[in-house]
Amino acid sequence: MQIPLQITVRDMPHSAALDVRIRKKVADLEHFHPRITSCRVTVSESRKHQQQGRQFEVRIDVRVPGRAEIVVNRQHDEDVYVALREAFGSVTRQLEDAVREKRGDVKAHQVPQQGTVTRIDLTEGLGFIETTDGRELYFSRENVVHPRFEHLAPGTKVQFIEALGDSSRQAKRVSSGKHNVTPG
């Protein structure tokens, strides 16, 4: 880490065991993601309530290059170590997501587009959609989600996902009416 680990304990006694556990968890994070530039861990005990007993809160702020700061807050009744485990687990999952994004393993969800069916050929099982920006995209019977292909007609308003076909852009997951296209 470029900036040394900061540990802050509030509204409760600071113990060596807690300090050791936090340092071990941070070392595990660094082993998983060696480019962490800074990490701040704040552990506090919330105000005591007669019915609720003790409540602990753990806040972890982690910075890695090329990504906004990762901030996690976790509260847990009665056990500070459970709150630590849950908070560091959440940070680890977010760092895993950052690594997958950097490698390109995370597929970006496409936003459904709007258009109008301009032509349908029922015998060939294909049709064309005019997009809101005036382009024309091909679609086939297999790409229709709802209603069935045979129920589409010129003038039908549809939603679709634009994708690269064999030789050109085409419409996939075509849907009309109240049945929305799920990104994917």
CATH number of the domain that residue 151 is part of = 2.40.50.140
Residue type at 103? R
Residue 182 lies in a domain: no
Phi, psi of 80 (to 5 degrees): -65, -30
CATH number of the domain that residue 29 is part of = 3.30.160.100
Res 68: pLDDT: 65
- Give me the torsion for CA of 18, 24, 27, 33, rounded to 10°: -90
Same domain, 14 and 52: yes
Residue type at 126? L
Residue 1 lies in a domain: no
Same domain, 76 and 146: no
Res 136: pLDDT: 93
pLDDT for 96-107, tens place per residue?
877 777 776 655
Same domain, 11 and 89: yes
Average pLDDT, the chain: 84
pTM, to two decimals: 0.55
Low-confidence ranges of the chain (pLDDT < 70): 47-52, 68, 77, 104-109, 166, 177-184
Same domain, 72 and 139: no
Same domain, 137 and 72: no
Q: What is the extent of the structural domain holding 42?
A: 6-103
Number of domains the chain is built from: 2
Res 108: pLDDT: 58
Residue 33 lies in a domain: yes
Give the separation between CA 93 and CA 91, rounded to whole angstroms.
5
Last residue of a domain, one of 46, 77, 103: 103
Same domain, 90 and 148: no
